[in-house]
Amino acid sequence: MKQIIRELIDQALGACRQDGLLRVSEQPAYVIEAPRNKDHGDFAANIAMLLAPQEKKSPREIAQIIAGKIEGKSAVVSRVEIAGPGFINFHLSPGAWYAGFQELEVQGDRFGSSGIGKGEKVQVEFVSANPTGPLHVGHGRGAALGDALATILAFAGYDVQREYYINNVGIQMQNLGRSVYLRYLELLKKEIVFPDGLYRGDYIIDIAKEVILKYGKRFTEMPEAEALSFLTEFSSSLILNGIKDDLEQFGVQFDNWFSEKVLFERGDVQSSIDELKAKDLAYEHDGALWFRTTSFGDEKDRVIIKEDGNTTYFASDIAYHREKFSRGFKQVIDIWGADHHGYVPRIRGVLTALGIPEDAFTVILVQMVNLLRGGKPVAMSTRSGEFVTLREVIQEVGKDAARFIFLTRRSDAQLDFDLEVAKKQSDENPVYYVQYGHARICSIIAYAQEKNVSLPVFQDIDPGLLSSPEEQEIIKKLAQFPEVVSGSAQSCEPHRIAIYLMELVGQFHSYYAKYRVITEELAMSTARLYLINGIRCVLKNGLALLGVTAPEKM
RNA sequence: GCGCUUGUAGCUCAAUUGGAUAGAGCGUAGCCCUGCGGAGGCUAAGGUCGCGGGUUCGAGUCCCGCCAAGCGCGCCA
């Protein structure tokens, strides 16, 4: 619809130039938008204000000239007016919106999808938590965001891959193995000292118990190094399986689980280092090998091989990101916890060094989650092991509520997650508001069937009957959905869809309260049934993009 | 100390990416079922958009300076 308006304006500008009314030596990038205020029409353009400096006329005067060339040119536009500082407001004829109806009807489940992604390969990497402990709420936020974003991008025509990077190399893994080993010995009544820095959570003891069940005492009889090596492997794969289960329960499925170990086994880490050396971007100093990240805007250079000869995690990440792009992704999106933000310049530096275009890489930082219960903070200390796991949250409040709460907020703002509020199946909890709307419509459709009013197609209805202000607003709102989806994809902001759904369902609920859908008048009943079925379809599509179910009954 | 992010109604959050009179929910005060789902609807009160400058036709949005909160600033991951 915007496109049609844009064409009208462009044509008018051409006509003005031809008639010598305006110079338009340089056409500014103007905006067409749906004004907040209904009195300002269906669309507004700011072209006249932008043109004012070069035309040396007042914006309103220019607007008047342009409007003169638009008036009566199209059946779509019923009225054009000049308002405010020089906006050109377009009022559309009611029939203009019917196109949106038909699109919705034809596309059904695909309504809202688009081809703006042009089939480009995009990777979204998210969660990527170390397999040293269960996922917590913060990971849940990243999971909901990454998963929804991936779905939305796919809907917008990108070829999307979801990837989880498994950090299964390094000191933290050894710490995990040692933690389990010590708890194991402890359970077998050996004297132990449990040092700081190891994992204290109860889940470590659970793993140790499982080891005893499966393998008995045998690790007390073998050399410590051998036992540690086995237990590290055993524990991390056990934890990783737990993570996979949790994510599945949360409705998240990855296409690829990428293991850091593989980078070493295939020699990717070594070859990355070689490449940096060859480009003179790495140098030796104090017995370590440094990467010249300062050349790319970082605060200081960073170590990639330590004095003791081991590589840093940074070395792995260089290799990993290099490897990602070698797989042909046009766009790589990493979702990180905000506590890693200091890491962004480093990785950007790496990519620049490797000759990867800056805009091919996006980092989305997801801010912390403050877990509350009835307004009071819940202790979340990883070291002491006192934290609420994602699994517990899902069990307590449900997948849909948790996901929706994460996805109604922008990712770069901190989020208060109150378990008591999330659990309430009412007012304070918007997910039920949206789902309830969907269920309500399904129920009306079922009722209509009972009354022998079957679900109509566009040809069956008289759209002119949908003339109340509420109905007109709903029709427009439905037509906006595709733009909301593509905007959400391009800005990597899934929350826009959640907000839109709450607005749409709000319109529906008040419409429902004011007008009766199924009455004695068949023509009116059919038209209204058609309208609310359109709402149902959009609610369902929108919820699907967020990974939230759209129940027919609740 | 330096850097990143945030600051909008009593609370939790939006605001079409620079647009016209800043909006929802909760909470508060009232009200609405003889009708398809009351997990709903209607009305009211509630704002110095952290503070101060600047940019321009126009700023919650961009720039600068303060203030506050969170997070970073390792040859840890």
Give the closest nucleotide to A511 (alpha carbon vs C1').
B41
pLDDT at A29 exceeding the cut of 60: yes
Q: Which helix (H) or strand (E) holds A338?
A: none
Q: Return the amino acid letter for A399.
A: K
Tell me phi and psi for residue A267, to 5 degrees. 80, 15
pLDDT for A56 equals 85
Average pLDDT score over residue span A52-77: 89
**Cβ neighbours around A24 below 10 Å, total:** 17
Q: What is the DSSP string of A204-256?
A: HHHHHHHHHHHHTTGGGSS-HHHHHHHHHHHHHHHHHHHHHHHHHHTT---SE
Closest CA to A456 of A536, A537, A535, A527: A527
Our measurement of CA A449 to C1' B17, in angstroms, reads 45
Q: Is A24 left (phi over 0), alpha (psi -120 to 50) or beta?
A: left
Our measurement of CA A197 to C1' B73, in angstroms, reads 21
Is residue A122 within 8 A of residue A149, CB to CB? The reply is: no
pLDDT per position as a tens digit, A451-467:
999 999 999 999 999 99
| Nucleotide B69, nearest residue via CA and C1' | A414
pLDDT at A25 exceeding the cut of 90: no
Using DSSP's 3-state secondary structure scheme, residue A373 falls into: strand
CA A161 – CA A167 distance, rounded (Å): 19
Our measurement of CA A330 to C1' B8, in angstroms, reads 37
Closest CA to A482 of A226, A115, A142: A115
Is residue A219 within 8 A of residue A168, CB to CB? The reply is: no
Residue A312 approaches strand B within 7 Å at CB? yes
pLDDT for A37 equals 87
ipTM for the predicted complex comes to 0.95
pLDDT per position as a tens digit, A339-352:
999 899 999 999 99
Give the closest nucleotide to A312 (alpha carbon vs C1').
B75
Is residue A341 within 8 A of residue A365, CB to CB? The reply is: yes
Residue A413 approaches strand B within 7 Å at CB? yes
Residue A482 approaches strand B within 7 Å at CB? no
**Cβ neighbours around A39 below 10 Å, total:** 8
CA A169 – CA A250 distance, rounded (Å): 27
Tokens 């020699």 locate to A267
| Nucleotide B40, nearest residue via CA and C1' | A509
Give A4's contacts (C-beta < 8 A, 6+ positions apart). Answer: A74, A76
Residue A303 approaches strand B within 7 Å at CB? yes
| Residues 127-146 (A) near nucleic chain B, CB < 7 A | 130
Give the closest nucleotide to A89 (alpha carbon vs C1').
B20
Closest CA to A470 of A514, A440, A411, A427: A514
pLDDT for A422 equals 87
pLDDT at A380 exceeding the cut of 70: no
pLDDT for A385 equals 55
pLDDT band (50, 70, 90) for residue A425: low
pLDDT for A427 equals 60
Give the closest nucleotide to A367 (alpha carbon vs C1').
B5
pLDDT per position as a tens digit, A244-301:
999 999 999 999 999 999 999 999 999 999 999 999 999 999 999 999 988 887 888 9
Tell me phi and psi for residue A18, to 5 degrees. -65, -40
Query: Which domains are assigned to chain A?
Result: 2-92 (3.30.1360.70), 171-247 (no CATH), 430-546 (1.10.730.10)
Q: For chain A, what is the total number of helices (H) and then of strands (E)?
A: 19, 15
pLDDT for A552 equals 95
pLDDT band (50, 70, 90) for residue A26: confident
CA A136 – CA A532 distance, rounded (Å): 39
Our measurement of CA A428 to C1' B41, in angstroms, reads 16
Average pLDDT score over residue span A225-231: 95
Q: Which nucleotides of B are covered by protein (CB under 7 A)?
A: 3-7, 12-27, 35-42, 57-58, 70-77
Average pLDDT, chain A: 92
Give the closest nucleotide to A369 (alpha carbon vs C1').
B70
| Residues 233-272 (A) near nucleic chain B, CB < 7 A | none
Our measurement of CA A500 to C1' B57, in angstroms, reads 31
pLDDT for A421 equals 86
Give A18's contacts (C-beta < 8 A, 6+ positions apart). Answer: none
pLDDT for A426 equals 62
pLDDT band (50, 70, 90) for residue A468: very high
CA A422 – CA A430 distance, rounded (Å): 9
CA A228 – CA A215 distance, rounded (Å): 14
Half-sphere exposure of A163 (CA within 13 A, CB side): 22
Our measurement of CA A341 to C1' B71, in angstroms, reads 8
Percent of chain A with pLDDT over 70: 98
CA A306 – CA A234 distance, rounded (Å): 28
| Residues 427-456 (A) near nucleic chain B, CB < 7 A | 427-428, 430, 432-433, 436, 439-440, 442-444, 447-448
| Residues 345-384 (A) near nucleic chain B, CB < 7 A | 365, 367-368
Give A340's contacts (C-beta < 8 A, 6+ positions apart). Answer: A365
| Residues 32-61 (A) near nucleic chain B, CB < 7 A | 33-37, 39-41, 44, 46, 49-50, 52-53, 59
Is residue A12 within 8 A of residue A70, CB to CB? The reply is: yes
Give the closest nucleotide to A50 (alpha carbon vs C1').
B57
Tell me phi and psi for residue A361, to 5 degrees. -125, 125
Residue A308 approaches strand B within 7 Å at CB? yes
Most confident of A25-39, A53-67, A71-85, A264-278: A264-278
pLDDT band (50, 70, 90) for residue A384: low
User: Residue A416 corresponds to which tokens in the numbers above?
Assistant: 């208060």
Is residue A369 within 8 A of residue A388, CB to CB? The reply is: no
Beta pairing class for A361-366 and A369-373: unpaired
Is residue A74 within 8 A of residue A8, CB to CB? The reply is: yes
CA A343 – CA A349 distance, rounded (Å): 10
Our measurement of CA A504 to C1' B60, in angstroms, reads 24
Closest CA to A340 of A317, A322, A306: A317
Tokens 């409007």 locate to A67
The C-alpha angle A288, A291, A293, rounded to 5 degrees, equals 140
pLDDT at A92 exceeding the cut of 70: yes
Residue A338 approaches strand B within 7 Å at CB? yes
Residue A191 approaches strand B within 7 Å at CB? no
pLDDT band (50, 70, 90) for residue A428: low
Average pLDDT score over residue span A305-310: 93
pLDDT for A424 equals 77
CA A90 – CA A476 distance, rounded (Å): 14
Question: Exposed/middle/buried for A180, CB within 10 Å: 0-12, 13-18, 19+?
Answer: buried
Our measurement of CA A504 to C1' B29, in angstroms, reads 28
pLDDT for A382 equals 53
First vs last C-alpha separation in chain A: 36
Beta pairing class for A302-305 and A288-291: antiparallel
Is residue A527 within 8 A of residue A462, CB to CB? The reply is: yes
Residue A289 approaches strand B within 7 Å at CB? no
DSSP assignment letter at A130: -
pLDDT at A383 exceeding the cut of 60: no
